[in-house]
Amino acid sequence: MGGLSKKIFQIQTISDQSKQERLLLDSGNLLFKRQSVAAGPNQERLTAAAIMQIYQKIGYDAVGIGPLDMAAGMDFLQTGVAEDFPWISANISDDRDKPLFRQWISKEIQGVQVVITSLSAPPTTLPPSIKVAPWESILPELLPRMTKDRNNPFIILLSTLSTEENRLIAEQYPAINLLLGAGQHLRNASPQLINNTLVTQTDKQGQYQGLLEISFGKQRTWGQNREKQLADLQNRLGSLNWQLQRLEKKSAGNTSKEKYSGTIARLHKDRDTINAQIASLQDTITKEQSPDMFTDQYQYRFIGLESNMPDDSSTDNILKDLNRQIRQLHKKPSKAKKTTDTMTLFSPWRDLVGFRVCESCHVLQTEFWQTTQHARAYTTLAVKEKNLDLECLPCHVTTDLFTTSLQNLPKEHLLTLPRELQSVGCESCHGSGKTHSVDPERFKMVRLPGKNICLNCHTPEHDDNFDYETKLVPISCPAELNK
Ligand code: HEC
Ligand code: HEC
Ligand code: HEC
Ligand code: HEC
């Protein structure tokens, strides 16, 4: 959620800087991190509702629906906080084939009718009485309906289908001018022209924003990327000039000038050709920039989120409200999940003993550990009133990282950890100590935690300059004095 607020700040800044009309689009998969979430009030649903509020507040024009958005069922998307949320999906319907969402929206931009539609990938298990039609059956009847009575529209397809399906669609439907993907496994993919469809996608989970600047021409075909062609030619010219200079110098101080003259003449000829090409390309560029330019042109860039970017203040209230709701929800964990139960019953805490037990034999290391940030990790959350937030707790408490990855934690138990497992304790780095604490000679601990252990928590998102060797120094416990 911290990322979302930074992303909004970035979008607002870019919009403020640009005088152009903008379209704010998201292809989908924005609400949840997995395909099904539990019923009833829980943090995942509260968070998803807040995301919808924020998207609506900053004025998204259209948002596609992916399998990760369907995790709480279709009602969740259609009712409640976001009644007029700009969801679109052309292929989600009820069991009588009645579409459940708007199938497209249109907007006039720079005098051009832009029509935006969306295709959803089906989730692994479909909610009851919901159909997600395949693109092969939808597109042939959808496209004519969308473009009817529209003069030369620009068509955008938002898609959570696979890269392969997107490619097939682009090949078969050149009428689609722009296809924005949001599959689950692709990183940033620079725009690629397939027939007449520009296909692109940004990294998942909002780590990047894609900014595509389009100037519309008279015809709905893409022009070539002249700037790149020009840069390539200028590069070649540069290297030719360099070769020529070198050869001319060599030949000047050489008795057998003929040895070089052939090559020099050829290079001169090449240079003339390239100069002519550059002149003609510059001419084309000037023409294309004139008002009656023929084709559509684009420029793009991907903009990464940086952890030091400020949060957007207009979303503050929504996020504060969300935190209040989460605290309210988690204040009294159910009686069935008492602290003692968590430690005795549930893996990955079952074999942990907590730092107080270690202290009884390792006074020196415990005193040292208490001076490190790790010992304060839980307090850090508490000060920010984030210690009841299931998104934050995994890395700010002690779990057995040698047996359970943070992704697979039974998160609800994080709220019932005993005090000695709050903060990043001994056993986060040295492994669980139940047997060792009883018979240390027979059951050894991990002495030096490897880099992979740290990386569970020191992920790029939370620590963008983690260097194992450097960061090991301030946290390495001292050896026993008598060794
Ligand atoms: C009953 C006393 C006792 C308790 C309790 C105890 N240790 Fe140890 N620990 C030892 C002794 C003794 C050694 C040295 C064993 C040796 O050298 O063979 C040791 C060694 C270690 C080592 C070095 C690696 C090894 O196993 O030789 C680490 C790391 C360690 N302990 C961590 C912990 C942690 C973490 C806890 C709490 C979960 C803990 N110990 C609890 C007595 C204890
Ligand atoms: C269970 C999660 C977790 C593990 C495992 C972990 N850390 Fe940390 N680390 C944290 C958190 C959280 C903080 C910040 C605590 C705070 O400021 O409240 C932190 C802070 C630090 C700091 C101090 C802040 C800084 O950047 O200078 C260092 C150094 C550090 N960790 C190094 C390591 C190293 C090295 C390892 C592996 C041997 C490691 N950590 C393993 C979660 C973890
Ligand atoms: C994937 C693990 C992970 C998660 C999840 C996580 N943190 Fe942290 N956090 C860290 C690590 C690692 C550090 C230490 C960073 C460093 O060394 O620079 C840290 C440091 C911090 C700090 C102190 C440094 C600072 O930036 O001021 C705060 C505050 C903090 N985290 C708050 C949170 C909150 C709030 C959440 C939930 C929204 C959260 N963390 C979720 C791993 C995590
Ligand atoms: C962030 C990771 C981390 C945490 C948390 C941590 N340690 Fe360590 N510990 C280390 C590292 C690194 C070393 C140095 C290992 C080496 O150099 O071989 C070490 C060494 C040790 C040793 C071996 C000392 C020796 O004689 O060589 C003991 C014992 C130990 N730690 C106990 C503890 C106890 C007890 C706690 C909790 C109070 C704790 N550690 C918390 C990382 C950690």
**Nearest protein CA to atom 17 of ligand 4, as residue:** 448
One-letter identity of residue 52? M
Confidence grade of residue 205 (pLDDT, cut at 50, 70, 90): low
Give CA–CA dist 267/273, Å, rounded. Answer: 10
pLDDT tops 80 at residue 381: yes
- Cα 438 to averaged position of ligand 4 atoms, centre (Å): 18
Two domains, one topology: 2-223+295-304 and 334-475: no
More confident residue, 454 or 315: 454
Average pLDDT over residues 337-348: 79
Give CA–CA dist 299/215, Å, rounded. Answer: 9
Stretch among 31-35, 290-294, 470-474 having the lowest mean pLDDT: 290-294
CATH of 334-475, one of 3.30.43.10, 1.25.40.80, 2.160.10.10, 1.10.1130.10: 1.10.1130.10
Residue 207 vs residues 7, 302, 370: alpha-carbon distances, Å: 8, 10, 34
What is the pLDDT at residue 182? Answer: 83
What is the pLDDT at residue 340? Answer: 78
pLDDT tops 80 at residue 297: no
- pLDDT digit string, tens, across residues 458-476: 998 899 889 999 999 999 9
**Nearest protein CA to atom 15 of ligand 2, as residue:** 377
CB of 462 closer than 6 A to ligand 3? yes
pLDDT tops 60 at residue 80: no
Average pLDDT over residues 377-392: 95
- pLDDT digit string, tens, across residues 145-160: 999 989 889 999 999 9
How do the domains of the chain map onto residue ranges?
Answer: 2-223+295-304, 226-289, 334-475
Give CA–CA dist 358/362, Å, rounded. Answer: 6
Q: Are 456 and 406 in contact (CB under 8 A)?
A: yes
> In CATH, what number does 2-223+295-304 get?
3.60.21.10
What is the pLDDT at residue 392? Answer: 95
Q: What are the residues facing 8 on neighbouring strands?
A: none
Task: Tell which residue, 201, 19, 21, has the closest CA to residue 109.
Answer: 21
Q: What are the residues facing 296 on neighbouring strands?
A: 222
Give CA–CA dist 55/24, Å, rounded. Answer: 10
Stretch among 83-87, 151-155, 441-445 having the lowest mean pLDDT: 83-87
- pLDDT digit string, tens, across residues 408-428: 898 889 999 999 999 999 999
Average pLDDT over residues 88-98: 94
What is the pLDDT at residue 250? Answer: 80
**Nearest protein CA to atom 10 of ligand 3, as residue:** 462
What is the pLDDT at residue 40? Answer: 83
Atom of ligand 3 nearest to the CA of 383: 29
More confident residue, 153 or 334: 153
Residues lining ligand 2, Cβ inside 6 A: 373-374, 376-377, 380, 395-396, 401, 424, 428-429, 449, 453-454, 456-458, 471-472, 474-475
Mean pLDDT of the chain: 86
- pLDDT digit string, tens, across residues 212-252: 778 777 777 787 667 777 887 888 888 888 888 888 888 87
Question: What is the residue whose two structure tokens read 């202290």?
Answer: 359
- Cα 74 to averaged position of ligand 1 atoms, centre (Å): 53
Q: What are the residues facing 301 on neighbouring strands?
A: 211
At 35, list the tokens.
């395909």
